[in-house]
Amino acid sequence: MSTPPPAGTITLAEKTVSRLGFGTMRLTGPGTWGDPADRGQAARVLRQAVHTHGITHIDTADAYGPHTVEHLIRDALYPYPEELLIATKVGMARPAPNMWAPHGHPVYLRSCVEASLRRLGMERLDLCYLHRIDPKVPLADQLGTLKALQDEGKIGHIGLSKVTPGDMHRAGKEVTIAAVQNVLNMADRHDPALELCRNLSIPYVPYRPLAAGTLATAHGVFAPLNWLLQLGELVAPIPSTSQPEHLDEIVSAVRVGGW
């Protein structure tokens, strides 16, 4: 891609990708359920992120829809540019709109990975997060399943989502942690996992960087993203939007800010 990546680059899952990523949670219907109101526009936003703005880190999950966004990504972006990293997450069941339930049974996790590979049209998930640690299943069993899939070549790197430093220490005994994805923004400023990521040189991917739009309404787009980007070169936010003009605003604010 000839467009310079917004906010520079970061090494994530052994790929050099744009430090500003794109989160895809909003590319569904209400309650993160079903198709978006305008499926064509959702596909255009994905192409705009990658082909217009040079974003090479797309974050998704099998739970978005569920399954909706992984299908959208393939429809919009396949065949994928070599430099594009599509990170997905597994281990969350969706019984109904706005309902989320961690599900870490090994059979379920394996089925999730196999299904994500088919939906995305991939032979390997370059970065696969455990969406949530399921307290009902031993962590060693959950991560052991992902590690087995990694050994089989179906997962490249394993990440963790919504975890504490204690979770990270326990997980680090089972797998190499490639990235951590937690909530962090100007309204929710403290996450002790960030300091541990810095100490261990693990990329930190803050989701909800604009607090579902409330920070952008109150402060504009630049201030919240600038605050995150100033936290260190390992911090790689993934703002999400379903509106082309809002994506333009996000990328423009980052570029004007000198990132």
**Residues with active-site annotation:** 64
CA distance 249 to 243: 10
Q: Where are the alpha helices (DSSP H) in the chain?
A: 39-47, 68-77, 106-120, 139-151, 165-172, 192-200, 214-219, 222-229, 244-256
Pairing of strands 101-102, 22-23: unpaired
- DSSP-derived secondary structure letter, 95: S
Q: Are 86 and 116 in contact (CB under 8 A)?
A: no
Q: Are 44 and 241 in contact (CB under 8 A)?
A: no
Residue 205: how many other CB atoms lie within 10 Å: 28
